[in-house]
Structure 1
Amino acid sequence: MNKFYLSEINIYPIKSLGGISLKEAKIEERGLQYDRRWMLIDEQGTFITQRKHFELALLEVSLKDNELTVTFKKNKEQKVSFSLEESIGESIAVTIWDDISNGFEVSKKVSDWFSDYMKMKVKLVKMSSEEKRLVDERYALDNEIVSFADGYPCLIIGQSSLDGLNEKLADPIEMNRFRPNFVFTGGTAHIEDSFSQFNLGNIAFSAVKPCARCVLITIDQQTGIKGHEPLKTLASYRTKEKKVLFGQNLIHKGFGIIRIGEELKIKEWR
């Protein structure tokens, strides 16, 4: 019988910017600590995404000493830092897909830095610790809540799934195109489609919905350049009901620390 082991843990503190790879992470009610707790919005309060603004791929994020730093990859001197607790003013209504949520602007200085970088007026907002943005009721099990992520607290992908895709591509790609929180080793390509319930340590996860992919995966995370792959190839063998599927969205029960190397203990298969 195959065994599955956690090989990567990733968080993306600011939605649509670069991720941070961790050896261990704390899982909270909304998902991994600091994951998608911040987000850029336009003047209408709508979230800003790499799907339209490819230049966001060139902003890397680091976390140290209770501070987040955002750095432009092509000019390391071009950066901005702010405290994890920093926010100003009153709550702002923000739109993520069909959801209305709330956030607080981090600071005018930080918003100005992003506005200069993007050449458009934007604000960086932080999700309030009181905010209760619900997971889609069609897939929720117990009124679970989520951060500024697209819809679910966590996303998992098997390394075998990427390896299988790369065998079909002329130019292999990295896992960061798919922005997973968890990557695991073991099993065949897309074995995660068959997961129903599994545990990491004492935390129980349910795989509730395959992840439908979009043009974001065609953006090279090192260069910010958009191509046709891997969406074109994926669509040839991973399309179901007009959606291209890769990875599984998760909801969880319980809180604690998750570490690389831990075994995914499958409790129930689909």
Structure 2
Amino acid sequence: MSDSSNAALADAPSDVAAVISRLYVYPVKSCAGVQVEQAILLDTGLEFDRAWMVVDGQGSFLTQRELPRMALIKPQLKHFEMILRAPGMLALHIALDQVEAPARVTLWKDEVAAYDMGPLAAQWFTDFLGVPARLVRFDPEHKRISSLHWTDGIEALNQFNDGYPVLVISEASLLQFNAKLAAQGFAAVGMERFRPNIVLGDASQGLELMPHDEDRLDLLQIATEQGPVRLKPVKPCPRCPIPNIDPATALSSPEVGDLLQGYRQDARVGGAVTFGMNAIVLQGIDHLLRVGQSVGASYHFD
């Protein structure tokens, strides 16, 4: 990153001064995430995020909504392979640079081009999940675009994400949520429940983040060694029952969803319960995001 780019970003007026406190990548959609210290930012989000997906015998995507045991499948990213582990199973090794036969799969209402990862992976997922299942990888030549309504016409690309490249949540939002859980006599939950990519924490010297500040921010500007990164929050993230699922046990904790229902109904998405903001990439493709990098942002006012 040039000195002039650093200076321009540092001098830009901000209502919020934060840092990246955590980064998460979810290599296989709806399986466990991987907390990382750094990640390359692509136009589809963080590198390897939702690059793979599990589908049923008809090619339709599978998630923790129907199969909570998927939470127990833990990926590990190595230099040349992804290693998948699950209770009672031998490790499954997936080469990062190999695929098998072309496939067509369904994700929500989208028909998506993909590559089947072969019979060994299919048998592994079938044995652990107890239903016919296959592992597929996103075809990078396929163009899957976020809703233009929410992106104001900007073509934001995705792999197997639900609909947007990056999910942003603040530490302050989780702290408030856990305080509310504690007030009702329940144990705190981890950030893993909410499956963010970028978590924002307070800078050592800066304006303190308030709970759900991410809902109100315009552009997130991140200082990286290669130059500034600009992310635009575009849509509150509606929540399904997945945050109820304890990632350590795959058991449901309905108090999580019940509490969200009590204070997080969002008129912007028709009253759905939301937690976190979906964001798109405006600038900084191929830049390296790291934990500890400075984030500046201003509030968005309609």
Identity %, equivalent residues: 30
**Structure 2 match to 1:190:** 212
Q: Which amino acid aligns with 2:195?
A: R
The range that moved more, 197-206 or 215-224, is 197-206
Mapped to 2, the partners of 1:122 and 1:185 lie a distance apart of 38
Mapped to 2, the partners of 1:196 and 1:62 lie a distance apart of 34
Q: Which amino acid aligns with 1:154?
A: V
Mapped to 2, the partners of 1:64 and 1:235 lie a distance apart of 39
Q: Summarize deviations over 1:94-120 as a string: whole Å, max 9, x none.
A: 111121111111121111111111111
Question: In structure 2, the residue corresponding to 1:114 is in which secondary structure?
Answer: helix
Mapped to 1, the partners of 2:255 and 2:299 lie a distance apart of 34
Q: Which amino acid aligns with 1:190?
A: H
**Structure 2 match to 1:265:** 296
Task: Name which of 87, 93, 99 aligns with 2:99.
Answer: 87
Task: Name which of 1, 15, 36 aligns with 1:22.
Answer: 36
**Structure 1 match to 2:21:** 7
- Contact 2:16 2:297 (8 Å CA) reproduced: no
Mapped to 1, the partners of 2:21 and 2:107 lie a distance apart of 30
Mapped to 2, the partners of 1:185 and 1:229 lie a distance apart of 25
Mapped to 2, the partners of 1:268 and 1:85 lie a distance apart of 41
Mapped to 2, the partners of 1:87 and 1:3 lie a distance apart of 42
Task: Name which of 224, 228, 247 aligns with 1:221.
Answer: 247
2:137 corresponds to 1:126: yes
**Structure 2 match to 1:152:** 164
Question: What runs of 5+ residues in structure 2 fail to find an aligned partner?
Answer: 1-14, 203-208
**Structure 2 match to 1:168:** 180
**Structure 2 match to 1:208:** 234
Q: Summarize deviations over 1:169-198 as a string: whole Å, max 9, x none.
A: 121000000000000113111111111112
Q: Summarize deviations over 1:184-222 as a string: whole Å, max 9, x none.
A: 113111111111112112111110000011100000000
**Structure 1 match to 2:70:** 56
Mapped to 1, the partners of 2:16 and 2:43 lie a distance apart of 30
Aligned residues: 267
Displacement of 1:4 after TM fit?
Answer: 1.0
Mapped to 1, the partners of 2:292 and 2:61 lie a distance apart of 35
Mapped to 2, the partners of 1:194 and 1:227 lie a distance apart of 29
Question: In structure 1, the residue corresponding to 2:276 is in which secondary structure?
Answer: strand
Mapped to 2, the partners of 1:258 and 1:2 lie a distance apart of 19
Mapped to 2, the partners of 1:182 and 1:65 lie a distance apart of 22
Bigger CA radius of gyration: 2
1:67-78 to 2 correspondences below 5 Å:
67-72=81-86, 74-75=87-88, 78=90
Mapped to 1, the partners of 2:213 and 2:154 lie a distance apart of 26
Q: After the TM superposition, which segments of 4 or more aligned residues of structure 1 sit over 3 Å from their partners?
A: none
Question: What runs of 5+ residues in structure 1 fail to find an aligned partner?
Answer: none
Displacement of 1:133 after TM fit?
Answer: 0.7
- Contact 1:198 1:268 (8 Å CA) reproduced: no
Q: Summarize deviations over 1:110-149 as a string: whole Å, max 9, x none.
A: 1111111111111100011211111112123421210101
Task: Name which of 263, 269, 283 aligns with 1:237.
Answer: 263
